[in-house]
Amino acid sequence: MNLYGYHELEQDLDHIKSLRMSMSELGTMGCSVLGKKIPYIRIGKGPIQLHVNAGMHANEWLNVPCLMQFVKKYMTALEEQQDWQGCLSDGWSEQVTLWVVPMLNPDGIELVLNGPDAHPFSTELLEMNGGNSDFSGWKANIRGIDLNDQFPAHFYEEARRRSVTCPGPRDYGGEHPLTEPESRALAEWTKDKKFDMIIALHSQGEEIYWNYRDYEPAFSEEWAQQLAAATGYAPVKLTESDAGYKDWFIQEYGRPGFTVETGLGTNPLPVHQYTPIAAEVERLMVSAIRLLLR
């Protein structure tokens, strides 16, 4: 497993296009600050709507190929009529529509992987990074806004708690919610699709966050325990954490939402964790689909 950026994602999407499946769709759900298309993949045509995203934080890019590995396995099984994980016999694609956004923050991920050299914002980026040319720890989008602190779920309370007052590598959510094209596109797309359940892949810690200020459904904790059993992760009830995508989704719709922190260590996680994390993401997604089909 090598470094995986926007170019590698485009190569994987080209492979998916070659499958020409009637029950799949590739599209764009928005654009980044620098105009990169933010792709989505739809698999299935069922009435139950499941969404999963990755790559919201730039230095958590390893989740992108892990999620794409699941997508490719699932789509290949459908294309070749293989009953992988019971996907055919259990009628996954007829009952569940899976919407995947594999890389929400392409500008930030490219910055982490390639650095600021020859970048149109290189001067501003170096200033935001304290003059340090090492951007491996950068979480934010290219404007120094943390996309997972951008959502209108007690946004200003979270901003006061963070006490970060200017753009930078992490934890600055901006002056107001949804100022960034990436977070705004995800919120608008979510409103349009009316998902029954969402999963946001982050790293690290091997934990599953399932609650938000008691807005979540009564069964969310049990579902988190089921997802934890599938992955080996720990279900965790959070307090004093706001403005994330999962938080906003639960508050807005009262439906189950989960932030899943993959891997262990310091971000960016080492590439050698790709194989175990990809296996855990596969088990996570299979478990999520089965929960929705119960």
Residues 104-155 pLDDT 10s: 999 999 999 999 987 888 999 999 999 999 999 999 999 999 999 999 999 9
Q: What percentage of the chain carries pLDDT values higher than 70?
A: 100
Tell whether the torsion through CA atoms of 56, 37, 189 and 15 is positive or negative.
negative
Q: Which residues contact 274 (CB under 8 A, 6 or more apart)?
A: 1, 62, 65, 66
User: What is the pLDDT at residue 82?
Assistant: 96
Segment 5-21 shows an average pLDDT of 92
**Residue 1, domain member (yes or no):** no
Segment 232-244 shows an average pLDDT of 98
Helix axes 106-114, 6-19, angle to 10 degrees: 130
Are 233 and 208 spatial neighbours (Cβ–Cβ below 8 Å)? yes
User: What is the pLDDT at residue 120?
Assistant: 83
Segment 244-262 shows an average pLDDT of 99
**Residue 63, domain member (yes or no):** yes
**Residue 83, domain member (yes or no):** yes
Is pTM beyond 0.85 here? yes
Instruction: Give the C-alpha separation, 129 to 123, whole Å.
Output: 10
CATH number of the domain to which 205 belongs: 3.40.630.10
Per-chain mean pLDDT for the chain: 97
Are 134 and 78 spatial neighbours (Cβ–Cβ below 8 Å)? no
Q: Which domain holds residue 39?
A: 6-50+58-292
**Residue 264, domain member (yes or no):** yes
Judge whether residue 164 has pLDDT over 90.
yes
What's the number of domains the chain is made of?
1
User: What is the pLDDT at residue 207?
Assistant: 99
User: What is the pLDDT at residue 132?
Assistant: 96
User: What is the pLDDT at residue 19?
Assistant: 82
* Active-site entry in 60, 110, 261, 280: 261
Segment 15-36 shows an average pLDDT of 92
Judge whether residue 21 has pLDDT over 80.
no
Instruction: Give the C-alpha separation, 61 to 81, whole Å.
Output: 31
Question: Is residue 261 annotated as part of the catalytic site, yes or no?
Answer: yes
User: What is the pLDDT at residue 38?
Assistant: 99
| Per-residue pLDDT tens over the stretch 199-220 | 999 999 999 999 999 999 999 9
